[in-house]
Chains A and B, each alone.
Chain A
Amino acid sequence: MMNRTRSHMLKFFEKGMRFDGRKLDEFREVSVEYGISKNAEGSARVKFGDTEVMAGIKMSVEKPYPDTPGEGNLMVGVELSPMSSPDFETGPPSSGAVELARVVDRGIRESKAMDTKQLCIEKGVKVWSTAIDIVTINADGNLIDASALAAFAALKEAKMPHYDADAGAVDYKKKTSKPLPLSKVPIAVTVYKVGNYCIVDPTSEEEDVADARLTVTSHGGKINALQKGGNYPLSIEDIEKMVSLSMKKAQELERYL
Chain B
Amino acid sequence: MDKNSDKRTDGRKPEELRPISARVGIIRKADGSAMFRIGDTIAYAAVYGPRELYPKFMQDPTKGILRCRYNMMPFSGSGDRVRPGPSRRSTEISLVTEKALLPVLNLEEFPNAVLDVFIDLPQTDAGTRCAGICAASMALADAGIFMRDMVSAVAVGMVNGRLLADLSYEEESTEGEVSDMPVAFTPKTGELTLLQLDGGVTKTELIKALELGRKVCREIYSVQKATLKEKYSGESGEED
Contacts and interface: CB of A to CB of B under 8 A. Distances in A.
A37 B27 contact: no
A82 B116 contact: yes
Q: Interface extent on B, as a size class? A: 20 to 34
Interface stretch (A18-26, A55-63, A230-238): A55-63
A85 B29 contact: yes
A39 B76 contact: yes
B84 A83 contact: no
A172 B84 contact: no
Contacts of A82: 46, 48, 69, 116, 118
B59 interface: no
A60 B74 contact: no
A95 interface: no
Interface stretch (B120-128, B160-168, B178-186): B120-128
Given A83-B120, A135-B122, A139-B29, A39 B81 contact: no
A38 B119 CA distance: 19
Interface in A44-82: 50, 52, 54, 56-58, 60, 77, 79, 81-82
A145 interface: no
Interface SS majority for chain B: loop
B74 to A, nearest CB: 4
Contact of B80 (A37, A57, A58, A90): A58
Contacts of A36: 122-123
Nearest to A39: B78
A43 interface: yes
A224 interface: no
Contacts of B119: 83
Contacts of B74: 56, 58, 77, 79, 131, 133, 135
In the A-B complex, list the 6 residue pairs whose CB atoms are closest, starting with the nearest: A56-B75, A58-B81, A40-B75, A133-B74, A83-B118, A83-B46
Interface of A: 36-41, 43, 50, 52, 54, 56-58, 60, 77, 79, 81-86, 90, 92-93, 131, 133, 135, 137-140, 172-173
Given A57-B75, A138-B29, 5 more contacts: A54-B122, A56-B122, A79-B74, A85-B29, A172-B79
30 contacts: A37-B76, A39-B78, A39-B123, A39-B125, A40-B123, A43-B75, A54-B122, A57-B75, A58-B80, A58-B81, A60-B81, A77-B74, A82-B48, A82-B118, A83-B27, A83-B33, A83-B44, A83-B118, A83-B119, A83-B120, A85-B29, A86-B30, A86-B48, A90-B118, A92-B85, A93-B84, A133-B73, A133-B81, A137-B44, A138-B26
